[in-house]
Structure 1
Amino acid sequence: MKYLIFVLIFVVSGCASSSPTVLPEKSELTVATVNHKYRNIIEIKGRAVNESSVSVSITPSDSGLAWSPEEIKYSFGGEDGVNKDYHRIIISGIPKKSGDYSVTISGFTLGTMHSGKDFYKKYAIKVKQ
């Protein structure tokens, strides 16, 4: 009987599917300054994502900021390369004007043993003079 309960708990826990987490949890990123370099990282944790499953937009579009996935350099079998990690989104650049900017990140995780899950998060960036 104990064996049957253990097996049932194991099977049911395998069916549980957690939602992805987008970090930082708060909805504001660090304050930026006009004409100074800015860099911040947004992380997607908990599930698999790739280039096709992540969308990032920064407003205003002429903000001077851009996004990119983190690039991880590797060397294997005598060849060098770069992998793009869409779990770590880098927001960087030089803000052009003061004001309130926003970064919206959305998408879906890829289904492996479980079906994928949608995610959405909007961040604010204050840009001071």
Structure 2
Amino acid sequence: MRFVILLSIFFLNACCALSDMNVSFISNILPVAIIGEKYHAEIKTKGLPISIMYVKIEQKINGIKIVPSTNGDVSRWYVDVSGIPTKVGEYSFWVHGSTVGTQCPGIDFKQKFTLSVIKPKYNN
């Protein structure tokens, strides 16, 4: 009987050791934005269910709003990046969050993203 209990404990805990305990993003690169043109991108996660995802402060950088949101499935968060940029440059921000902890403890994550804004190319 003791053996069965120990074996059960091992298998329950082994799930944590054997699973990939990482949060990754579908894309780590944001599309380039163009001054004066409407911009929209979503930063989505894959892998472990997310309990919360946030940007340090809901930011507005160079006419672009960066807002975390969920699509109704609370374990699937995304960050909405949208607006009309006004200046050329590279603008960075951090996305932070935590995974759901059930049998295994949740983990914290953070990822830096950079948005490049360029001048429009006009055809003569």
Would the TM-score normalized by the shorter structure come out above 0.5?
Answer: yes
Report the secondary structure of 2:15's partner residue: helix
RMSD in angstroms over aligned alpha carbons? 3.0
Q: Name structure 1 gaps, 5 residues minimum.
A: 73-82
1:101 maps to amino acid: Y
Aligned to 1:49: 50
1:37 and 1:94 in contact (8 A); partners too: yes
Mapping of residues 26-37 of structure 1, within 5 Å: 26=28, 28-37=29-38
Q: Higher relative contact order at CA 8 Å, sep ≥6: structure 1 or structure 2? A: 1
Mapping 1:116-127, distance limit 5 Å: 116-127=106-117
How far apart in 1 are the matches of 2:62 and 2:73? 24
- CA distance, structure 2, for counterparts of residue 71 and residue 8 of structure 1: 35
Distance 1:106 1:70 in 2: 13
Cα separation, 2, equivalents of 1:45 and 1:101 = 24
Q: What TM-score results when the alignment is normalised by the length of structure 1? A: 0.66
Structure 1 residue 71 displacement after superposition: 5.7
Question: Is contact 1:103-1:123 (8 Å) kept?
Answer: yes
- Return the letter of the residue paired with 1:117: I
Query: Deviation of residue 87 (structure 1)?
Result: 2.1
In structure 2, the gaps of 5 or more residues are 120-124
Aligned residues: percent identity? 30
Preserved contact between residue 45 and residue 87 of structure 1 (Cα < 8 Å): no
Match of 1:19 among 18, 22, 33: 22
Q: 1:42 is matched by which residue type in structure 2?
A: I
Please report how far the alpha carbon of residue 117 of structure 1 lies from its aligned counterpart in structure 2 after TM superposition.
0.7
- TM-score, normalization by structure 2: 0.68
Matched residue SS, 2:50: coil
Q: Which has the higher strand share?
A: 1
- 3-state SS in 2 of match to 1:41: strand
Partners of 1:36 and 1:94 within 8 A in 2: yes
Q: Is the 8 A contact 2:67 2:79 kept in 1?
A: yes
